[in-house]
Structure 1
Amino acid sequence: MSLADSSSLSQGATKASATVRGARPAGRVRDPRLDFFRGIVMFIILIAHVPGNWFTLWIPARFGFSDATEVFVFCSGMASAIAFGSVFRNQGLLMGAARVAYRCWQVYWAHIGLFVAIAATMVLLNASELFDTDYVGQLNLHPFFKSTDQSLVGLLTLTYVPNYFDILPMYLVVLAMMPLVIACHRLHPLVALALVLGVWLGAQTDLLALPAEPWSAREWFFNPFGWQLVFFTGFAFMSGWLPAPPRDTRLVIFAAIIVIVIVPLEYYRITRHLPAVIAWRNDYSILIEKTDFGLLRYVHFLALAYLCWMAVGEAGRRILPPEGESALASGWRQTLAVIMKVGQQSLAVFITSMFIARLLGVALDVLGGSSLFNQLLVNATGFAILIAVAYGVGWFKSEPWRKKGTA
């Protein structure tokens, strides 16, 4: 969750490549902190989406206003600055916009494919008559099948976005804003700032929103016009538009106070015993609302991001394997390589995560979710699948068939 400027990027990537071999493709500069935190978030996202998963009681979202979604979007902004920034700088705004459009095209079809795959799987589970659970209804997909013609058009035009399938559409719209924000920044940095803040304020006042289904007034659960704020915060830090914050003990204490004070305002075991907190949350819900990305979610995330940035050290030196060939160093080196590999293949891993989360929920139904062993087994299986997908996708992206070798 780095907030470092571009000068530390090369240093961190170089050091990481020397200590964590195989964690990134050769020839591409990566920030080890970015891959590390994206990898961690991928595991958290899987945990959060498995129905009946006990581990959801201990994810960061239970203890603060912001959660893994903020980290995912923030890191996506940073990754976009790395992936697309050079195209805008070296080949101009038009070619940069074309590169972003190509990525939007990929994300769009990933979203469509994910929906079709999950919807078809839920129909097969219901048709098997082996389970008592209505898996189609569990995802609220009955309206889609009752009015398939209208819903199918809505799916393809993104005017039908069920709650479970709302992150990729949000990401797609935010990506599409990138050329406009960069163009505004070239006019003047304050113009870009005004655009980002103005769009965010439009979301807070319900002036900017997108319809989630044709038959009701429901809006997208993740309003991209609100969530673009955290995306472009990450983009601005990695692009060098914003300087790295100072490393100051006083700021560490201030950020820690923010995080600690918010715990009793969010942790359900505490809030349910405090009527005043419940009343405050109801009266000021706009500040913590997830749909439009409320202000206090942003404040909480920035505090956590600063603490993590300080914790990992300059260029991520504290997460890199310790010197030497001890068992501890070797074990952490292998673990770090796995986490970073998952972080590098975040789109493929995310899609896989959303799909297998439903099947893992079915596994808990069959095995019995009341058993700690079953809970551990199901989560470990999910983690193993994500790791296998990350390495598999990485292998295909390396295009091994282009390498010369003996038949």
Structure 2
Amino acid sequence: MQTANRQRDPRLDFFRGIAMFIIFIAHLPANSWALWIPARFGFSDATEIFVFCSGMASAIAFGRVFELHGLAMGSARVIYRVWQVYWAHICLFLGVAGMLAFLQINGLTSEDYVGKLNLWPFFEDPVFQLPGLLTLTYVPNYFDILPMYLVILAMLPLVMIAYYTAGRGAVLALVVGFWLIATFRFVDFPAEPWSDRRWFFNPFAWQLLFFTGFAFIKGWIPRPPVKKRLLFLSAAIIILTIPFAYFRILNTVPELRQVAWEIRDLTVKSEMGILRYIHFLALAYVAWAAVGEGGHRLLLQGFGGKVVRVIKKVGQQSLAVFLASLILAQGIAVFRDELGLKGTLSGGVMANLLGFAGLIAVAYAVAWFKGQPWKKAREPRAS
């Protein structure tokens, strides 16, 4: 049995950090920089990076617990993490909703930011909506990633049971089976009590990507060799996808727009369409080959090395940074708009750079607190 390596993988931290910056760009309202994120040029986006890398990180964090302490203790460790993610989601919602409500009732913003996130139903009837928030039956789209993530985490003990009882074949059947029933929309979760809207991210579909990353770290799937033909194939998939994803091309060529519409079930985001999955794997392979064995090409010197180290630090604290990014995105948007800089080049640069600085500051602050510096012994002062 292969034991997961507990040492940090620089590639994992680096790409999770990249995903955090892209997610901030995507969530900043009226952000022109969002026209240049990977999602505009292909079927997959930063969400896939986040989920895939989370699967890899979970194999490192929880895999050894299952191996050394058994299913019961491994499952308990996962449940504890689910508990943490659940309350992170609740606090995120209350933090964003409370911030926007405070700004509006005090006349600090001229726009209805509460309405833009469709949060008025919560404020108009909190007695009815609060139980929905706590039971995850009320999940506005802006807050939909963490509920998906915690359900996938909750599936991890089931996957480990399948592995220990029947091997990798049982895991494959289980994961693919869940993806199929989600693809045909046989199972999903309600997103709001007053309509038939469902969770935007169906966790039973997205677990396919999570457990792909998990399986790579566990050794259930062998590492693909770096070969020219695989690189050419992956690059071809990435390039051929662009005409069916880039909005400027679709708006110019009606025939391509029609094809994109006809294959929408294969590229759908909510149920992780198969072409979306393939596109991400092609991107991941190219990125994995680009950074070299063990990520040695990330070991840069000078300014480039400093940038890589900062990105890795952000990736190491991905949950805290993700939570901060959603709060910062709304707060900075209000600040930018009230300065009258919405839609301007300077406003875009200011808002994005402020956001990046905030994410970096959160990452380093959380790392400092996790280091528990107050427990370190201090040398006695000289008399």
- State the TM-score bracket (shorter-chain normalisation): over 0.9
354-363 vs 126-135, which deviates more?
126-135
TM (norm. structure 2) is 0.96
In structure 1, the partner of 2:211 is 232
TM (norm. structure 1) is 0.90
In structure 1, the partner of 2:272 is 293
Alpha-carbon distance between aligned partners in 1 of 2:87 and 2:156, rounded to the nearest angstrom: 19
Unaligned 5+ runs, structure 1: 1-5, 11-27, 322-328
In structure 1, the partner of 2:158 is 180
Alpha-carbon distance between aligned partners in 1 of 2:262 and 2:360, rounded to the nearest angstrom: 43
In structure 2, the partner of 1:24 is none
124-133 vs 167-176, which deviates more?
124-133
Return the match for 1:348 from 313, 316, 320.
Answer: 320
In structure 1, the partner of 2:115 is 137
In structure 2, the partner of 1:110 is 88
Deviations 1:2-21 (A, max 9, x none): xxxx89x86xxxxxxxxxxx
Deviations 1:185-209 (A, max 9, x none): 1122111100000000011101011
Q: Among the aligned pairs, what percent are the same residue?
A: 56
Deviation at 1:341, TM superposition (A): 0.6
In structure 2, the partner of 1:338 is 310
Aligned to 1:282, the other structure's residue is in SS state helix
8 A contact 2:86–2:147 mirrored in 1: yes
8 A contact 1:111–1:169 mirrored in 2: yes
2:124 is the alignment partner of 1:146: yes
Unaligned 5+ runs, structure 2: none
Alpha-carbon distance between aligned partners in 1 of 2:144 and 2:109, rounded to the nearest angstrom: 27
In structure 2, the partner of 1:265 is 244
Alpha-carbon distance between aligned partners in 2 of 1:53 and 1:169, rounded to the nearest angstrom: 25
Alpha-carbon distance between aligned partners in 2 of 1:262 and 1:363, rounded to the nearest angstrom: 37
8 A contact 2:97–2:114 mirrored in 1: yes
8 A contact 1:125–1:135 mirrored in 2: no
8 A contact 1:82–1:238 mirrored in 2: yes
2:345 is the alignment partner of 1:372: yes
Return the match for 1:49 from 27, 31, 43.
Answer: 27
8 A contact 2:328–2:355 mirrored in 1: yes
Alpha-carbon distance between aligned partners in 2 of 1:202 and 1:281, rounded to the nearest angstrom: 23
Alpha-carbon distance between aligned partners in 1 of 2:126 and 2:189, rounded to the nearest angstrom: 21
2:51 is the alignment partner of 1:73: yes
In structure 1, the partner of 2:235 is 256
Aligned to 1:365, the other structure's residue is in SS state helix
In structure 1, the partner of 2:263 is 284
Return the match for 1:404 from 352, 377, 383.
Answer: 377
2:362 is the alignment partner of 1:384: no
In structure 2, the partner of 1:325 is none
Return the match for 1:84 from 62, 86, 98.
Answer: 62
Residue type of the alignment partner of 1:131: T
Alpha-carbon distance between aligned partners in 2 of 1:108 and 1:234, rounded to the nearest angstrom: 22
In structure 2, the partner of 1:126 is 104
8 A contact 2:30–2:343 mirrored in 1: no
In structure 2, the partner of 1:326 is none
Return the match for 1:393 from 363, 366, 370.
Answer: 366
Aligned to 1:272, the other structure's residue is in SS state helix
Deviation at 1:364, TM superposition (A): 2.2
Residue type of the alignment partner of 2:150: L
Alpha-carbon distance between aligned partners in 2 of 1:176 and 1:137, rounded to the nearest angstrom: 32
8 A contact 2:188–2:202 mirrored in 1: yes
Deviations 1:69-91 (A, max 9, x none): 00000000000000000000000
Instruction: Map residues 184-263 of structure 1 onto 2, 5 A cutoff.
Output: 184-186=162-164, 187-263=166-242
Alpha-carbon distance between aligned partners in 2 of 1:140 and 1:297, rounded to the nearest angstrom: 28
Residue type of the alignment partner of 2:296: R
Deviation at 1:369, TM superposition (A): 2.0
Alpha-carbon distance between aligned partners in 2 of 1:208 and 1:196, rounded to the nearest angstrom: 14
Return the match for 1:167 from 140, 145, 166.
Answer: 145
In structure 1, the partner of 2:334 is 362
In structure 1, the partner of 2:135 is 157
Q: Number of aligned pairs?
A: 377
Residue type of the alignment partner of 1:340: K
Alpha-carbon distance between aligned partners in 2 of 1:370 and 1:170, rounded to the nearest angstrom: 32
In structure 2, the partner of 1:312 is 291
Aligned to 2:298, the other structure's residue is in SS state coil
8 A contact 2:298–2:305 mirrored in 1: no
Alpha-carbon distance between aligned partners in 2 of 1:346 and 1:132, rounded to the nearest angstrom: 33
Residue type of the alignment partner of 1:159: T
Alpha-carbon distance between aligned partners in 2 of 1:150 and 1:291, rounded to the nearest angstrom: 27
CA RMSD of aligned residues (A): 1.3
